[in-house]
A and B are shown apart, each in its own frame.
Chain A
Amino acid sequence: MTDNVQQKNEILVANVGGFVGGTLYGGATTLAVMLMATPIGWVAALVIGVGSVLTAALVSYGAKNLYTTYLNHIDITKITKVDQLCR
């Protein structure tokens, strides 16, 4: 909970970036496992799980930094109307 617009934007960008990163990683591994037809073991399952979490964290960190450094003049919470939902 914060009243700071900058922080609100950072939280939104970090969360959405993490979601996109993790999902894309999941999609890519799904396609790889499916098309290569390699049977997955516990190691592969672990790689899928840990990899998607790491990718999500990395992308969310990167996206947040990009926003803070270069794009803080754009209020994304206002465009998406999130500021009306989360006051």
Chain B
Amino acid sequence: MQIETIPEFIQDASLFEWFFLIFILILPLILITLIITQHILGYFLAKKYDIHFFKPPYFTNMEVAVYCSWPLSLIRYATYITYTGFPSILHKRRFKSHASPYIPSRMIRFVCQFWVMALVICIITGPTLLIMMFALAPRSQIGVRLQASTKNEILLGGLGDW
């Protein structure tokens, strides 16, 4: 099998190009994985938790009506996943004074914790990458021009057409 050579652009890719490629190629894959995992975990956790929690006072009547169907049911799934991973957070807020009706295995708890942390990291890094891309884009262009022109050209007025 022939091994493909490293594409040329990777050898001298600027920071802006890296950010753009991560945003377009890697972030969507992570997000798709998170969404699929959310559906699977949420489906099974909802079976355990719905009888105890999916009613007033934990959810309002309005929320019960809205969270029944996709896509807003994903909020309910996310709540259950966070509750499994980090019970103390939701003990303080939504599920007050209710002992957990289901004790998950360490594996499921770890997966839930990993899911929540991955989502938080994606939400932080995604917009940051986007802002960095827009911020670095003009500099990338200037960098290309700097490479193309020599010092003398800049001194002689190469800055003119920037």
Contacts and interface: CB of A to CB of B under 8 A. Distances in A.
A50 interface: no
Contact of B75 (A20, A30, A66, A67): A30
Most B C-beta atoms less than 10 A away, residue of A19, A31, A36, A48: A31
Given A45-B72, A66-B134, A31 B120 contact: yes
Interface size class of B (residues with CB under 8 A): 35 or more
B51 interface: no
Contacts of B74: 26, 30
Contacts of A73: 9
Interface string A17-36: 10111011011101101111
Contacts of B23: 17, 20, 63
Nearest to B94: A37
A13 B62 contact: no
Nearest to B61: A39
Interface size class of A (residues with CB under 8 A): 35 or more
Given A19-B31, A73-B9, A74-B17, 9 more contacts: A16-B28, A20-B24, A24-B122, A31-B119, A31-B123, A37-B94, A39-B60, A59-B130, A76-B21
Interface of B: 7, 9, 16-17, 20-21, 23-25, 27-28, 31, 34-35, 59-60, 62-63, 66, 71-72, 74-75, 78-79, 82, 89-90, 93-94, 119-120, 122-123, 126-127, 130, 133-134, 137, 140-141
Interface of A: 12-13, 16-17, 19-21, 23-24, 26-28, 30-31, 33-37, 39-41, 45, 48, 59, 62-63, 66-67, 69-71, 73-74, 76, 79-80
